[in-house]
């Protein structure tokens, strides 16, 4: 039950290049558009704020916290600008008086992809 509740709060988001900067976004939807006989795959996304620089500095670029901007920052991107898919998890603290912040996790769940199935030697202590 707890695990299913947690999964509802996780947001799978693309990591994108927008205006030559790596950003995180929530995809609203994908669509195709033809320009001069060439069809392009595009996406409408809501951008997260840039990461909190102070937290990045304090944590040696480990904790990446961004504010979700919702409908305030909607842009259209080429799907080729998507670099990877990450997970945004609600940040449990309020920073600088702002809520609605998330921290980034890459490769969620892959930490258990290599499981050691060998049994422990009872002779070794």
Q: What does the domain layout of the chain look like in residue ranges?
A: 9-109
Name 74's Cβ contacts closer than 8 Å, sequence gap at least 6: 28, 44, 45, 46, 47
pLDDT tens, position by position, 37-69: 999 999 999 999 999 999 999 999 999 999 999
Q: How far is CA 57 from CA 26, 45, 51, 53, 63, in A?
A: 25, 28, 11, 6, 9
> Is it the case that residue 120 has pLDDT exceeding 60?
no
Query: What mean pLDDT value characterizes the chain?
Result: 81
The predicted pLDDT at position 65 comes to 93
pLDDT tens, position by position, 71-89: 999 999 999 999 999 889 9
Identify the DSSP state of 60.
Answer: T
Give residue 116's Cα distance to chain centre.
Answer: 29
> Is it the case that residue 35 has pLDDT exceeding 80?
yes
Residue in 125, 25, 29, 124 with CA at minimum distance from that of residue 81: 25
The predicted pLDDT at position 108 comes to 56
Q: What is the pTM of this model?
A: 0.72
């Amino acid at each position: 039950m707890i695990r299913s509740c947690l999964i509802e709060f996780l947001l799978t988001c693309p990591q994108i290049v927008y205006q030559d900067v790596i950003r995180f976004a929530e995809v609203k939807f994908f669509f195709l558009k033809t320009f001069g006989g060439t069809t392009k795959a595009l996406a409408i996304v809501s951008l997260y704020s840039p990461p909190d620089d102070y937290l990045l500095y304090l944590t040696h670029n480990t904790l990446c916290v961004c504010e979700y901007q919702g409908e305030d920052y909607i842009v259209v991107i080429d799907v080729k600008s998507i670099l990877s898919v990450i997970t945004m998890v609600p940040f449990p603290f309020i920073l600088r008086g702002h809520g609605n912040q998330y921290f980034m996790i890459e490769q969620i769940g892959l930490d258990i992809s290599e499981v050691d199935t060998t049994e422990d030697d009872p002779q070794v202590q």
